[in-house]
């Protein structure tokens, strides 16, 4: 996911909100759970952030290839 966050919002807050709400929605849709998500993890702990310096196309390529890298494959 590649998003642009306006400067008035804290990056950690936005990322935490997105990860939290999306994990709950996915768990409800695919696991049939309505409550009690304690101890379950859906997202990795980290994320990449840059204010300047990242080339947008390089970031997009990294995102597209992330699934392959996560499975231990080659690029």
pLDDT in tens, 24-68: 888 778 776 666 656 666 777 777 777 766 787 887 887 788 777
Total-model pTM: 0.57
Q: Is 47 helix (H, G, I), strand (E, B) or coil?
A: coil
Task: Judge whether residue 9 has pLDDT over 90.
Answer: yes
Out of 24, 27, 37, 62, the active site residue is: 62
Token couple for 63 = 């995102």
- Say what the pLDDT of residue 25 is: 84
Q: What is the DSSP letter of 51?
A: S
Cα–Cα distance for residue pair 38/33, rounded to 1 Å: 12
* 62 assigned to active site: yes
- Say what the pLDDT of residue 53 is: 66
pLDDT band with cut points at 50, 70 and 90 for residue 1: confident
Q: What is the DSSP letter of 34?
A: -
60, 4 contact by CB (below 8 A): no
């Amino acid at each position: 996911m590649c998003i642009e966050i306006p400067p008035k919002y804290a990056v950690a807050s936005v990322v935490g909100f997105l990860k939290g709400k999306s994990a709950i929605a996915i768990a409800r849709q695919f696991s049939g759970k309505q409550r009690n998500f304690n101890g379950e993890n859906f997202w990795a702990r980290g994320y990449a952030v840059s204010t300047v310096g990242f080339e947008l196309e390089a970031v997009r390529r990294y995102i597209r290839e992330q699934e392959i890298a996560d499975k231990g494959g080659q690029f």
